Amino acid sequence: MALSDLQVTPKHLFRITDAVIYTKTIHGNSIAFTDFGFANDGPAIVTFSGWNQDHRGWSNVTPYLMDTYRVISVCFRGHGPNRDPVGDFSFADHASDVLAVVDSLGVGQFVCLAASHGGWPALELAQAVGRQRCPAVIILDLVMTEASPQFLAGMKALQKPDTWQPTVRALFKSWNNGTASLNMREQMLINAGGFGYETWARAGRTIQEAYNKWGSPMKRMEALQDPPLIHHVYTQPPGSGDDYHKVHEQFRQKHPDWFSFDHATGGIHVPHIEQPEKVDRITRDVITRTLAQDVAD
């Protein structure tokens, strides 16, 4: 029986926000990570945070998953306890860091669970290891269409010393969307609020580069060789809800063998924080479908 099947409320769940953090030196950098449920069978779940979020971004959903799966959350460079300055790095670099950590832990097959722009390095890692080792990628609320001029302007504003702070405040307001969620308030104040100009500027540069290179996450997916099962969960569409749903439905009809999606009707940009129970159920369903596909193949 999964934890999500029990009659429990969030206050009864394990609190892992302040869990012990492990570090490894990877490619000359200190990489922080957490590792739960390592005695469980089946594919591990490797999480990818959005930029300016560390392992604590997964503290709401991990307690649901770790009774069944090994859950490994690897931080970006410079996002762990050691906040010494680091040089610029790409999403491909982060994927390489994550793979080195996963390999060092003796992990075989795994599924990627990525929040927002963590989807970019998750797709890089899936490409690097192939579908047999990474049979599925679950992405939570990444803008799947081409970036709007307003979005790109925001990414550029993050890169300027005199505009990064008001831009971050505007992002927080947008992400929060008036919610009363204590989980979201905690993540904004304690987690994302702990990063300064250098990290936010790097986020703006790297995210802008990803959209410039690929056009959109969907185009990046189409460039994958032998793509894994990719499942997108979105809450707040960038435009009309009907239009955004249509984009997803058309993409699913174009790639029925490997793309699927869910619309989590929440109020904020981060379903794994606002709706951990739903993300738990969706993740389990995707892994079940993945294992069934492996048997069929």
Pairing, β 29-36 against β 44-48: unpaired
DSSP three-state, residue 93? helix
Angle between helices 91-104 and 119-129 (to 10 degrees): 60
Active site residue 263: no
CA 230/CA 228 separation, integer angstroms: 6
| Residue among 260, 264, 290 nearest 276 (CA) | 264
Whether the CB-CB separation of 51 and 109 falls below 8 Å is answered with no
Catalytic residue among 79, 94, 232, 269: 269
The helix/strand/coil state of 17 is coil
| Contact of 69 with 99, CB cutoff 8 Å | no
Residues with active-site annotation: 269
